Amino acid sequence: MGDIPLFGMLDILGTFAFGLSGATVAIRKELDLFGILVLAAAVGVAGGTMRDILLGDLPPESLRDTRLLLVACSAGLAAFFLGSRLEALKRPVMLLDAAGLGVFAVSGCHKALEHGLDPLAAVLLGVMTGVGGGALRDIMSAEIPRVLREDVYAAAALAGAAVYAACHWAGLPQVPSVSGAVLLTFALRVASERFGWKLPRAPRS
């Protein structure tokens, strides 16, 4: 994986987080073990695969490096055997989704910048990478994607990707830039759920 260890590790962490969220939803839908693994694998690699296809980096990293698929399937197995402990958390899918959202938003933005995209396009690709896994999970589980029904979702990914792009442009060290951008996305997503934050809407006549 490119840029190991930092960005390779980000892809692994994001894949595992989204894999767990997909598997948790599959368990709630009462799918069998195979269904759980399929949803975990598909959701885990969706964001990175979309990123690579849009950048023309083919075949996608998820097909070139089998570790990512193994990580996603491992997340599915972990959820299968530890599902009750995951459910003990308050809103486990939302927390896992927020973690994956932040990690992939930054990872997507970084890879876009490395491929020569301008900062605005890189931020946009970061947002698409971040929301891709969650959107596929919701579609596969017959739900309206969160990105369409929860206001501070893509906006949280946008904030994290924008902060990382600004730090990259300013030449700041990678580790604090990545950490700060990921944590910002995670915090915004969780806080919006906790406090019911909504984006402004057009007034109705």
pLDDT, one tens digit per residue, over 54-67 is: 999 999 988 998 89
**pLDDT of residue 12 exceeding 70:** yes
Task: Determine the Cα–Cα distance for residues 173 and 100; give it in Å rounded to an integer.
Answer: 22
Mean pLDDT of the chain: 89
- DSSP symbol at 89: S
Residue of 148, 140, 185, 132 whose CA lies nearest to 23: 140
Give the pLDDT score at 3: 44
The residue extents of the domains of the chain are 6-194
User: Degrees (nearest 5) of the Cα angle 98, 99, 105?
Assistant: 85
- Residue 40 CB coordination number (10 Å): 33
152, 188 Cβ separation under 8 angstroms: yes
Q: What percent of the chain has pLDDT over 90?
A: 65
Give the pLDDT score at 172: 95
Give the pLDDT score at 2: 44
Residue of 35, 44, 50, 36 whose CA lies nearest to 11: 44
Average pLDDT over residues 71-79: 94
Give the pLDDT score at 134: 86
Give the pLDDT score at 152: 84
In this structure, of 17-26, 68-77, 126-135, 146-155, the range with the lowest mean pLDDT score is: 146-155
Strands (E), 21-148: none
**pLDDT of residue 4 exceeding 60:** no
Give the pLDDT score at 178: 95
- Residue 180 CB coordination number (10 Å): 16
Task: Determine the Cα–Cα distance for residues 75 and 23; give it in Å rounded to an integer.
Answer: 7
